[in-house]
Amino acid sequence: MEKKKIVVCDHLHKKAQEILSKESDIEYVDASEVPKGEPLYEVIKDADVIITRSSTPVDRELLEHAKKLKAIVRAGVGVDNVDIEECSRRGIIVMNVPTANTIAAVELTFAHMLACMRAFPYAHNQLKLERIWKREAWIGNELKGKKLGIIGFGNIGSRVGKRALAFEMDVITYDPYIPPEKATNLGVKYTSNFDDILNCDIITIHTPKNKETINMIDKEEIAKMKDGVVLINCARGGLYNEEALYEGLKSGKVKFAGIDVFAKEPATDNKLLELDNVTVTPHLGANTEESQEKIAEGAASEALEAARGISYPNALNLPIKEDEMPPFVKPYLELTQKMGFLAAQVNKGAFKSIKVIAEGEISDYLKSLVTFAVVGALKESLGESINYVNAEFVAKERGIDIFSKKEPELSGYKNKVTVKLTTDKDVVEISGTIFEESVQRIVDINRFAIDVEPRGKMILFKNTDVPGVIGDVGKILAKHNINIADFRLGRDEHGFALAVIIVDDDVSKEVLDELKNLEACISVAYAIL
Rounded to whole angstroms, how far apart are CA atoms 417 and 366? 9
Q: How far apart are the two ends of the chain, measured CA to CA in Å?
A: 17
Residue 304 and residue 6: Cα distance in Å, rounded?
Answer: 8
Task: Note the Cα 492 to chain centre separation in Å.
Answer: 34
Entry field: residues in the chain: 529
Cβ partners under 8 Å of residue 467, min gap 6: none
Active site includes 397? Answer: no
Residue 491 falls in the annotated catalytic set: no
Helix (H, G, I), strand (E, B) or coil at 160: helix
The residue from 53, 74, 112, 283 that is catalytic is 283
Q: Looking at 42, 142, 265, 274, which residue is catalytic?
A: 265
Could you give the 3-state DSSP secondary structure of residue 520?
A: coil
Where b means 16+ CB within 10 Å and e means fewer, 117-148 reads: bbbbbebeebeeeeeeeeeeeeeebebeebbb
- Respond yes or no: is residue 265 known to be catalytic: yes
| Dihedral, 290, 293, 296, 300 alpha carbons, nearest 10 | -120
Angle among Cα 117, 123, 129 to the nearest 5 degrees reads 150
Q: Which residues contact 152 (CB under 8 A, 6 or more apart)?
A: 173, 174, 175, 205, 206, 207, 235
Q: How far apart are CA 436 and CA 106, in angstroms?
A: 18
Cβ count within 10 A of residue 350: 11
The beta strands (E) that lie in 35-133 are given as 49-52, 71-74, 93-96
Closest by CA to 297, choosing from 12, 526, 496, is 12
**CB atoms inside a 10 Å sphere around CB 401:** 12
Say which of 236, 297, 305, 429 is annotated catalytic.
236
Residues 6+ apart with CB under 8 A from 22: none
Measured in degrees and rounded to the nearest 5, phi and psi for residue 96 equal: -130, 180
Beta bridge partners of 458: 502, 527
- CA distance linking residue 39 with residue 21, whole number of Å: 22
Question: Annotated active-site positions, please?
Answer: 236, 265, 283
